[in-house]
Amino acid sequence: MSGPITPPLTVTTASGTPSGRPITTIKVSDGDLTISGGIATIDTSGSGGSPGGSDGQVQYNNAGVFGGDSDFTFDGTTVTIENPCYINGDINSVVAGGADFTLIARDSTGGTVQGTISMGGGADEPITLVAGEAGSDADIVLVPGSGAGKTTTQSPIDSTTTIDADVVRIGAGTSGNEITTNTTEDLVLNTNTGTNSGSITITDGANGDIDIVTDGTGVTEIQNSTTDNDTTLSVKGNGTGDSIINLNNPTKSVQLICDENQKLKVQGGVNTFILDSSSATGGITWPDGTTQITAASGGTPAGSDKEVQFNNSGSFGAESQFIWDSANDTLQLGQGIGYPRLALAGNNGYVYFKNNAVSPVTKASVGVNGTTFYIKTFPTDTERLRITTNGEWGIEGANYGTDGQVLTSGGAGASVAWEDAGGGGNVFNAELPGDTASGARYIISQSPPFGSADKTETLNASVASKPMCFPFISPASGDVTEIGVNFTTSSVSGNLYVGIYDSNSDGMADSRLCYATIASTGTGNVYQTSITGTGTLVRGTQYWYSINMDAGGIAPYLMGATTENTPGMGMGASASQDGVTFFDNAATAYAAPPASFTSSYTYGGFGRPICSLKIV
């Protein structure tokens, strides 16, 4: 003990037996009281000291003495904390009557409310987050963590967050309320994962629109993700009223309307098509008010199969002269005498041909320009020929040539051209009547201008080992169907070849057209109808006929003209030579007439044998 206890010190009561648990020491040291021994009761009434700080300030141990602060006050109603408050545990609000528990942010003590978090105190009460003061544009922002453990797919409301509320309301002001995805990610509203029959409902407020807005080439798509299931877009009304799909742009619109009478209307402007599906007899009503009940009422095609339909005084009409042959992709006009007819109306009508099988597409046409008829050819529809109402022929335009000019071939790869006529002169091309009783039999050995009516000579055919040629002008056009000669004397065997040749550019025998093999074992007129090759002749055109035997050592005689009565060929070694025929000296003796005459022409003095042709 450092000194005596100074009175007044009073012991008022002592009970029990203190001897077993005596107070052994009472010590005051630097104002601290220490009692050692048994349990002591110390009455400090009247000696608790004074609270720290100012009125209303909540007391705290401030280094062993009462302390108070203006940032932490209680006025009997409200606890005010002016600085950050750290709570290491729950905040439990037990409010009588189930009133809300609200955290309010103000701009100053008791000032304007800047935002609230309000939690309802009763059953089924909402939690309300209010941002900013009334009428402000403040957002509610949920900020996720940024630590290393955060996955990139997480967001403040991530895949593990469940919002159990029946209604999630976005925004309360007048500005647009949006759910915006990050970067280019899709926004998916999913009723649940896995099998679920729940639906997604987008509900507008009173008279509000629900817009699905795409951008650029984006499309609005309704897709059934389950394979082979129907996909349904339902526009559902409620009670009376139409169901309408509006297809429109800023200036034009078409509406698809299902009205309350189960009629589907396609309505654009003043025109309305109505498909009445309310009954089997509803039919289709056209904009002009007419109604078609069944497909049959649309009429059946007129006429017969393949006939093209046309309006025949208000009804379907067809004609047997107007046919579309789909099997051959052919439009056929006319079938009988006087047909086909194709009338191109207008001053500049034309028929256009396109060849789509090549690229670029080539084209050609025939038509009229005013009173001029023209033909334009591939590939670029270039005019090649025009014929005027005066009968003028224009080559590649208004090129009608001059009087007396003739059309001349430019050969392969060149167009024809008007040129001055040269050479030739008049060619005998009269079509003399043949022996019609025997089927147009012409005696070409006698026909003008090379023929001779003389038939007094008997010609020894044995000298004709190689084809001897005689010119003739065909008196008719057609095919040779018979060749005939006259044997004045027969041979015991053998045949006479009679060939028909065309002329080359020099007018000489050129290519064999046909030939006959005629037995020389008979006398008189002998005709052969079995013709080898095709002898197509053109009236007025010069050809050649040839004769030669198929074997030597036999000597049939042919009726013919004497050399004096046979037109000369003008061939020979001297001016007085009398060649009236020539033969192909390079040909094989006693062979069938060669396919082509060579230019190994050798003149001869053989008279012109009688020869007849049937030209049909």
Partner 1 sequence: MMNRNSTVYDGDEIVESTQIDVTWNEVRKTRNNALSDSDWRFMSDQSPSDEWIAYRVFLRDLPQNYDTANDAADAWNEYEKPE
* Chain residues in the site for partner 1 (CB under 8 A): 456, 482, 486-488, 517-519, 522-530
Q: How far is the CB of 363 from partner 1 (least distance, A)?
A: 52
Residue (503 or 521) nearer to partner 1, CB = 521
Q: Least CB distance from residue 549 to partner 1, whole Å? A: 16
Q: Report, in this order, helix, strand and coil percent for the chain, each rounded to 5.
A: 5, 35, 65
Q: What does the alpha-carbon distance between residue 397 and residue 416 come to, in Å, rounded to a whole number? A: 13
Nearer to partner 1, 68 or 494 (CB): 494
- Contact present, 84 and 72 (Cβ < 8 Å): no
State which residue, 400 or 527, has the beta carbon closest to partner 1.
527
Which structure tokens are listed for 291? 């109604």
Task: Name the residue among 171, 257, 581, 615 with its Cα closest to residue 433.
Answer: 615
Q: Quick one: 496 or 587, whose CB is closer to partner 1?
A: 496
We find the least distance from the C-beta atom of residue 439 to partner 1, in angstroms, to be: 11
Taking the complex as a whole, how short is the minimal distance between the CB of residue 521 and partner 1, in angstroms? 10
Measured from the CB of residue 529, what is the shortest distance to partner 1 in angstroms?
A: 5
Residue 558: closest CA among 610, 481, 505: 610
Are 606 and 581 in contact by the 8 Å Cβ rule? The answer is: yes
Q: How far is the CB of 305 from partner 1 (least distance, A)?
A: 45
Rounded to whole angstroms, the Cα distance separating 236 from 220 reads 19
* Shorter beta-carbon distance to partner 1: residue 380 or 456: 456
Tokens (6 digits) for 515: 């030939």
Query: Would you say 477 or 488 has its CB closer to partner 1?
Result: 488
In 164-191, which positions are buried (b, 16+ CB within 10 angstroms) versus exposed (e)?
Answer: eeeeeeeeeeeeeeeeeeeeeeeeeeee
Closer to partner 1 by CB, 38 or 522: give it: 522
- The CA R_g of the chain, rounded to the nearest whole Å, is 62
Residues 87, 79: contact at Cβ < 8 Å? no
Minimum distance, C-beta of residue 609 to partner 1, in the bound complex (Å)? 15
DSSP designation for 391: -
- Quick one: 606 exposed, middle or buried, by C-beta within 10 A (0-12, 13-18, 19+)? buried
Q: Is the peptide bond before 7 cis (omega within 30 degrees of 0)?
A: no
Instruction: Report CA-CA distances (Å) from 310 to 12, 307, 322, 335.
Output: 138, 10, 10, 18
Distance CA 608, CA 563 (A): 7
Q: Min. distance of Cβ 528 from partner 1 in angstroms?
A: 5
| H or E element that contains 470 | strand 468-473
Give me the least distance between CB of 437 and partner 1, in Å please: 11
Residue 525 or 588 having the CB closest to partner 1: 525
Q: CB-wise, 477 or 481, nearer to partner 1?
A: 481
